[in-house]
Amino acid sequence: MFHTTHAGWATACLALLPQAPAQAPSKPADASQTSAVSEIVRRLEQREARLKSLKLELRTEGSYPNGVSFRTQGTLRVSGGTHFHIRVASHFGAASDIRSEVEKVVTPKGVWTRQKGPVEEAYTTMTAELAERLRRARRELAARRPSRPEEHLPGGLADDGKAALGSQLLAGLNRQFDLAPVDPPKKLGKVACRVLAGARRRAGGEKKDAGAVDPTAVQRVEVWLRAADEVPVQVVQFASDGRVLLKLTIENLEIDPVLDPSSFKLVPPAGVTFQDVRTHRPSWAQIQRLLDDHAAMLAEQAAKDKGREPEKDSKKR
């Protein structure tokens, strides 16, 4: 997780396609469709368990609800499930007049981050213990609310290299959208792909015609899987009128390249030292909000569990 630029990178990590025609909402997925996607997730998880290392490049474009466009380019390396290195440059506005950069390295010893924006360039560090607290908080919060695709990008961007082939990306999207195979197969450049697509699942009790549809909300998604190994290499999000809101493309994906663990390091310029993330106010404010949300969730669950105890006791009596 990019603790201070998660919104700037992770949400800016999905790119626009040319405008597409409006798509009619699909029918709710039947059991066979859901099972088919779950089987793909299972196979990806098996490959992830055997994965030694990974390298890829990311390319995105998109626009925010206020109309401001963005594009990003980045590289990612993951080794052994313990080492993680990402660099991303983001450009905002039609003239790309605003630029930001983020670079992050994760090892068993901790986390080091460089963030450069219009105002400052900051080098921060985080202990392994705090990083683990954040991973746990994100994981448990994600289990209680709808998953956002950018939290489970291929390469495990949200969890420092876990789920590196996109299993959780696909699982999260399958919870939110009625994913089903689309024929015929397609090509992404020269790469043969299978495509899964589906409309947003309606919340419990939500009627099909309930109120006006938010034109900025994602109503349909496509997930392009490499035919050779089912790894997600493109995600496209559509509005209700068929406009493409966001697209993420994975390029030059290498599985199990030789990566030296000692190369996973972030070296600041001469005269610059790393600052403890707890003393960097913008970073710590976002981290603290996440930890507070997690603590509130645990307290709420504890209260619910305590409220159920008398009922269980009464049944025993």
Would you state the pLDDT for residue 206? 52
For the ranges 116-125, 141-150, 161-170, 304-313, the one whose mean pLDDT is highest: 116-125
Per-domain residue ranges for the chain? 6-306
E strand residue ranges, 45-177: 53-63, 69-79, 83-92, 98-107, 110-116, 121-127
Asked if residue 60 lies in contact with residue 249, where contact means CB atoms within 8 angstroms, the answer is yes
Comparing 268 with 315, the larger pLDDT belongs to 268
Asked if residue 275 lies in contact with residue 123, where contact means CB atoms within 8 angstroms, the answer is yes
Helices (H), the chain: 31-50, 128-142, 167-176, 281-316
Q: What is the tens place of the pLDDT at every residue in 211-253? A: 566 777 889 999 999 999 999 999 999 988 888 889 999 999 9
Would you state the pLDDT for residue 208? 54
Token digits for 66? 């206020």
Would you state the pLDDT for residue 162? 64
Which string of b and e fits 266-296 if b means at least 16 CB within 10 Å? beeeeeeebeebeebebbbebbeebbeebee
Asked if residue 250 lies in contact with residue 154, where contact means CB atoms within 8 angstroms, the answer is yes
Whether residue 178 is predicted with pLDDT greater than 80 in this model: the reply is: yes
Asked if residue 213 lies in contact with residue 251, where contact means CB atoms within 8 angstroms, the answer is no
Decide: residue 27, CB within 10 A, 0-12 exposed, 13-18 middle, 19+ buried. exposed
Cis peptide before 108 (omega within 30 of 0): no
Would you state the pLDDT for residue 31? 57
Domain topology for 6-306? outer membrane lipoprotein receptor (LolB), chain A (2.50.20)
Q: What is the tens place of the pLDDT at every residue in 149-162? A: 444 444 334 444 56
Asked if residue 173 lies in contact with residue 150, where contact means CB atoms within 8 angstroms, the answer is no
Whether residue 21 is predicted with pLDDT greater than 80 in this model: the reply is: no
Q: What's the mean per-residue pLDDT of the chain? A: 80
Q: What is the tens place of the pLDDT at every residue in 48-63? A: 999 999 999 999 988 8
The stretch 16-28 carries a mean pLDDT of 33
- CA 236, CA 166: separation in Å to the nearest integer? 15
Report yes or no on whether pTM surpasses 0.85. no
Among 20-24, 31-35, 61-65, which is the least confidently predicted range? Answer: 20-24
Among 9-23, 161-175, 260-274, which is the least confidently predicted range? Answer: 9-23
pLDDT class of 209 with cuts at 50, 70, 90: low
Torsion (CA) 175, 180, 185, 186 in degrees, nearest 10: -40
